[in-house]
Each structure stands twice: as structure tokens, then as C-alpha cells.
Amino acid sequence: MSPLGGGSLLLAWQLKGKHVLVVGGGDVASGRIESVLAADARVTLISPSNGLHPLTKSFLDEPYNITYHDRLFAGVEDLADVDLVLTAIDDVAQSHVICSLCRELKIPVNVADIPESCDFYFGSQIRDGPLQIMISTNGNSPKLANLIRKKVEQSLPEHAGEAITKVGELRTKLKERAPGVGGAIGKRRMRWMIDVCTSWEMEELALLDDQMIRKLLDDGWEKNAVPSPGELGARSSHQAYKTTPNFLAPVVFATTLSFVAGAACAGLFLLSRRR
């Protein structure tokens, strides 16, 4: 067993409606803005207009929840009612000032390119609808994180995001039909959902619509069974998933896991050498 310590706590942070301050509007800042907008955050951007990246400008041109100030960071007054701060500016001294103010006010802060001033890191992310996967190197090597992300992304099945969305809809309808938290009903719901997810292919789950969900609950849940997609009248229109034989999937995924594990071991070795 590997010793504990030296890592970060990876969380899915719910930012919906939270107030995020972004200082800087360049290339790095545009990526930060995109990430927090995807999480439905309320954004305030402070940056002179002559330094705005085209992507940042495009966000300002759309009806996103962004308040823009065409100026430099003014001081502690800019931190009022802020839940999270992201800085991406070339002024290192100013970055340290903003970081110190955030620490005094206990506001989580990320300072681009200064890992020791970060309360959290941005990893290399995969997103497909509700599916989100983050690869983090704890600030050691963003480039390696990006390479590992590409390896993982290649191993993911087609239509994974669609399938997750549809399974979420099925789960919601099932809880409406069989409400309750915990106990026997909760265990049965969990077991049945597991059976559905493991019995159906990813592309088949992605084909679920309202009529199929209703029939799956009627013929499956109510009868304590898991009908096949064919029994529900499903006809796959997705062909890409079938181009790779099923017996190769474990090999591809195992190769990816080996790559990730090797990279993680290398990272731990480098960290241990630095101590």
C-alpha cells in the first residue's frame, strides 16, 4: 500500500450561483472563465480591455452571467461578496498581493503559474455532458496531465455523456415511482439500476427516450427484471461504438490505467527526490 500524503483532495465543487472573481483576461484567464461558466458560476472579470483574449471577448459578447470592469484590480474592495478568486496576470508582485488579501479574508484563490500560492489547482479535464474527468499532477506538470488526459479520453466508450444523461433521467423516474431513502426499497432501487447499467451497452443506454424509460420501468422494475433493449424495441443508430470488438475494450482500458499508474509513480518519485 502506498503511503498517504503528498496529494490533493479532488472534489466536484458546486459553483452554481457562487460569485467568482477573475483577475486578468488573457489566454489562461479565458480558460478559467470557461471552466467556471460551465459550472454556472456568477463571474466578475477585472482586466483592461486592451489585454482581452478573443475567447474572453466572445464570452462578454454572449448573454453569460459576467460583470466586466475595464481596469486593473483596485484592492480589497474588489473582494467584497466573492466566494472564489482566480488570477491570471503577468504581474507577479500584484498576484502575491491579491493572494495575501484572499488568505486574510479566507477566500479560496488560484494564482496562475505560482503553485505555492494556490489553494487548489486546475487539472486537465475531459467533459462530455454530465461526465467530467480531471487529471491532476498537483501543479507539477500541466503538459503531462494533458498527455494523460488524451490517453484516457481515447479509451472512453462512445456516447458516454448521452448514456449518463439518460440513466439520470431513468433514475429520477424510478425514484418518483418508488420513493424513499435507504431501507429495503433503496437497496432494491440501487441493485436494479446496477443491473440495468451492466446489462446494457453504453450506446444502448444512450438511446433511452421517455417511452422506453416508461416501458423499462413497467416491464423491468415492476417485474423485478431487466429487459433487453431489443425487448423494448430499441434500434441502435450508433455504429461507431461497434467498430471496436468488445474483447478489446478491457485491453485498451487496462493500457490506459497502466499509463496513468506509471505516470503517478514517476510523479511520486520526483516529489520524494525534492524533499
C-alpha cell at 154: 481515447
Q: How far apart are alpha carbons 107 and 102 in whole angstroms?
A: 5
Strands annotated E in 136-244: none
DSSP state, residue 248: G
Whether 209 is catalytic is no
Which residues are within 8 A (CB) of 146 and not within 5 positions of it... i.e. 6 or more apart?
Answer: 124, 135
> Which amino acid, 33?
I
Of the residues 83, 91, 113, 128, only one is catalytic, namely: 113
C-alpha cell at 9: 483532495
For the chain, count helices (H), then strands (E): 9, 7
Q: Are 163 and 202 in contact (CB under 8 A)?
A: yes
C-alpha cell at 22: 477573475
> Taking CA 260 as the corner, what is the angle to CA 31 and CA 2, rounded to the nearest 5 degrees?
115
Q: Are 42 and 15 in contact (CB under 8 A)?
A: no
69 forms beta bridges with 46
DSSP 45-101: EE--GGG--HHHHHHHHTT-SEEEE-S----GGGGTT-SEEEE--S-HHHHHHHHHH
Please list the active-site residues. Answer: 113
